[in-house]
Amino acid sequence: MQDFTYHSHNFSQGITDGKNTCDEMLSKAEEIGFSEIGVSNHFIYHPNIPHDHAMYFNDFDKALDYAKRDIEQTREVASRHKIKVYAGFEVDFFPSKMWRNAFEKMLKEVKPDYVIGSTHSGFNKDETVFRNVWFLGQEAQKDEITKECLRNHWQNIIDCINSGYFAFIAHFDLASNLGVCVESEWNEWKWKVVEAFKQTKTPFEVNTNGIRRCGIPSPDWWIVKELVKADVPTLISDDAHNVDCLGQYFAEAESKLSEFGCKNRFRF
Ligand SMILES: [Zn+2]
Ligand SMILES: [Zn+2]
């Protein structure tokens, strides 16, 4: 069974959304017999993104400062533990040149060990209107501006895959996992994303946090099966935000992957 996760969160600097400290997360990972762990607090920066949470940054200097401290903290705590630790980020990707320049500056200055590609929102073409998929009710999704943001949300995942920045892509159908874009009209977008993975062979995670949330991982099993069939590399992620979620549902995910005949497993 996979004995590591590269997608985990902690409570960093009073800003991020993990429930335990980095030290507590690493201790628990050692206790359950993990051989290594990736620490991937969020890096969410965009000058126009709504400040839905302290970890959503509009100010690049503040985002950079947070990112530096986060990686420093991870490495400092790791030095006091036996387990092999990778210091990374789960990054919200945006397609504009402006964002890419800022992101590349962060990579150059902070030098994380790896970055995970992710998106938690949809936005309009010029990246001025945002819709966070976490907070979208069924009614809100019918609004035309929101629909445009959601179409761009799926296109953004394709751009994120094609960008080549990321070690692997996180929970790419998070929207449907949260009850957003579940109508059949969205299926063609899901297939376009599957196609992008097949073309680029970019690794994808099976995010077991979805199983805890709604009984289905992200991506959904039918997509996992499709990508495994195309030999796209995969790994299991618990996306743990507290110590109890480390390694959660790994046995279930392993058994599905072996049922699908998965041979191509990603690891550092
Ligand atoms: Zn996420
Ligand atoms: Zn995450």
- Does residue 231 sit within a domain? yes
Between CA 90 and CA 158 the distance in angstroms is 17
- Cα 60 to ligand 2 centroid, rounded to whole Å: 21
**How many angstroms is it from 116 CA to the middle of ligand 1?**
9
> Does some domain include residue 106?
yes
**DSSP run (H or E) holding 36:** strand 36-45
Residue 58, domain member (yes or no): yes
pLDDT band per the 50, 70, 90 thresholds, residue 200: very high
- 179 assigned to some structural domain: yes
Q: Has residue 67 been placed in a domain?
A: yes
- Tokens encoding 114: 């790896």
- The CATH code of the domain that includes 55 is 3.20.20.140
Q: Which residues surround ligand 1, an ion (CB under 5 A)?
A: 118
Ligand 1 geometric centre to CA of 113 (Å): 18
In a domain, 267, yes or no: no
**What mean pLDDT is predicted for residues 139-153?**
90
Rounded distance from Cα 257 to ligand 2 centre (Å): 21
Angle between helices 221-229 and 187-200 (to 10 degrees): 30
Q: Is 240 helix (H, G, I), strand (E, B) or coil?
A: strand
Give tens-digit pLDDT for 7-27.
Answer: 999 999 999 999 999 999 999
The pLDDT, as a whole number, for residue 137 is 78
Whole-number Å distance, alpha carbon 242 to ligand 1 midpoint, is: 14
| Number of separate domains in the chain | 1
260 confidence band (pLDDT: 50, 70, 90): very high
Q: Band of the pLDDT at 138, cuts 50, 70, 90?
A: confident
Burial of 164 (0-12, 13-18, 19+ CB in 10 A): exposed
Measured in Å, residue 9 CA sits from the centre of ligand 2 at: 7
135 part of a folded domain: yes
- Summarised one tens digit per residue, pLDDT across range 171-183 is 999 999 999 999 9
- Domain containing 67 equals 4-259
Residue type for position 218: S
Res 85 pLDDT > 80: yes
Start-end of H helices in 179-259: 187-200, 209-214, 221-229, 250-259
**How much is the mean pLDDT over the chain?**
96
**Mean pLDDT score, 84-107:** 98
Tell whether 243 is covered by a domain.
yes
Which residues, by Cβ under 5 Å, contact ligand 2, an ion?
Answer: 90, 239
Cα–Cα distance for residue pair 22/141, rounded to 1 Å: 36
The model carries a pTM of 0.97
Q: How far is the CA of 254 from the centre of ligand 2 (A)?
A: 20
